A = this chain, B = another copy of it.
Amino acid sequence: MAGKKSQLKGNMLIAQSGGPTVVINHSLVGAVLEAKQHPQIKGIFGARHGIQGILEEDFVDLRRENTRFLEKVAETPSSALGSVRKKPTHEDCLRMFEIMQEYDIRYFFYIGGNDSAETASIVNQEAARMGYELRCFHIPKTIDNDLRENDHTPGYGSAARFVALAFMGDNLDNRALPGVKVNVVMGRHAGFLTAASALARQYPDDGPHLIYLPERPFHIEKFADDVKRVYRKHGRCIVAVSEGITDKDGTPIAAAYTKEVDAHGNVQLSGTGALGDLLAHIIREKTDIKRVRADTFGYLQRSFPTVVSPVDAREAHMVGRVAVRLAVRKDVDGSVAIKRATGKGYRVAYKLVPLSAVARETRSMPDRFIAASGNDVTPAFVRYAAPLVGPLPRMARLHDYPIRKRSR
């Protein structure tokens, strides 16, 4: 609802949704700490497991948590309130709204991806229809970095840092014991996280040597040819592949494999090694390269403690804080989007955008971030992602000063 400027008094409800990230609790804690500063916000309730907790009235008292301890929670990975994958029906939204009335909820914050923005949007519409004043905010989070209106999203920088570090180490492992290594990275529709593997490159022959994104169709023959070419040049090859790659008809490559060897399974992209194993199998079949391995980075990408981008943690905190600041200031609803300032240096601003602008659809990697070859990213992408990930350690190689051969 828009228009009124009254100091709206009542309780606040906050919840977390979708795949956790390593900084999602920074957003929760940012919002709670900000809320504590505004007397019109009375109870600060957390719903456990997102909308499921709202529907079950599974609420916890966040005001009783002390600030020092909350700061520890902020540094702890994965949704402290619990999360949920459930998409609410229209009846669910009506029921949630009823419950919010019952608890005198006047401030509602939902931390999540585009689905969460949509949920917030429906609840908000219902409140408007019933003439119940509710300040309704979406707080962005997703390692996929696929929310519209945002330069990037909280959670992405740290997950991208994990991916970059993983490739830095794996590149050295592959250099020590040469062969082909395929690493499958999360990201169903957007290639941002897979693309972050490019940040691992420090020496000219460092991997990943090939990067396959869901934004470009994946051709098995071309893939095999690409690997052969790199292997011929470097004697090894590191490949970054998004779990969401599809063929030219949009069929997930993983699905083709599942049909082939597993009569039971559904197409499960994360939490399975099937795609990596398929790609390794293809290389073994189509080349005479002996050492071929695949790893699927899996859930570690979004939950690994200690691998946190400082910029990401700060921004995750700020989107939570700014959402509350905007909500208490006047009668607005929306999502807090991160906008990057143009010009030199890295600076961002937090802007209010309509819930509908973030809900439902997602965004993909823009063309200017994808190399014309379709198997790499551009320098523009590296410039875009580097500040989000934070400073990476330098990998030091021996100079390999040669010793003259003595054998006759």
Contacts and interface: CB of A to CB of B under 8 A. Distances in A.
B60 A401 contact: yes
A363 interface: no
A316 to B, nearest CB: 16
A305 interface: yes
Contacts of A38: none
A84 B280 CA distance: 21
A368 interface: no
A331 B401 CA distance: 30
A24 B38 CA distance: 54
Contacts of A292: 271
A407 B95 CA distance: 11
A49 B72 CA distance: 45
A201 to B, nearest CB: 14
Contacts of A46: 398
Given A22-B169, A306-B393, A48 B400 contact: yes
A405 B298 CA distance: 38
Interface residues of A, number: 89
Contacts of A401: 60-61, 64-65
B300 A59 contact: no
B80 A300 contact: no
A403 B165 contact: no
A298 to B, nearest CB: 3
Interface string A250-261: 000000000001
A321 interface: no
B281 A265 contact: yes
A173 interface: yes
B307 A306 contact: yes
Given A272-B277, A274-B277, A403-B60, A304 B165 contact: yes
A122 B139 CA distance: 64
A172 to B, nearest CB: 4
Interface stretch (A149-157, A174-182, A205-213, A223-231): A174-182
Contact of A296 (B268, B273, B393, B405): B273
A295 to B, nearest CB: 3
A402 B270 contact: no
A320 interface: no
Contact of A304 (B166, B175, B268, B302): B166
B72 A407 contact: no
A43 interface: yes
Contacts of A78: 169, 172-173, 175-176
A5 interface: no
Contacts of A397: 73, 76, 80
Interface string A160-188: 00000110111011011100010000000
Given A64-B399, A304-B166, A172 B296 contact: no
Interface in A371-408: 393-403, 405-407
7 contacts: A49-B176, A69-B396, A73-B397, A78-B172, A85-B177, A181-B271, A271-B293
Interface of A: 16, 19-20, 22, 43, 45-46, 48-49, 57, 59-62, 64-65, 69, 72-73, 75-85, 99, 102-103, 165-166, 168-170, 172-173, 175-177, 181, 261-262, 264-265, 268, 270-274, 276-277, 280-281, 284-285, 292-300, 302-307, 393-403, 405-407
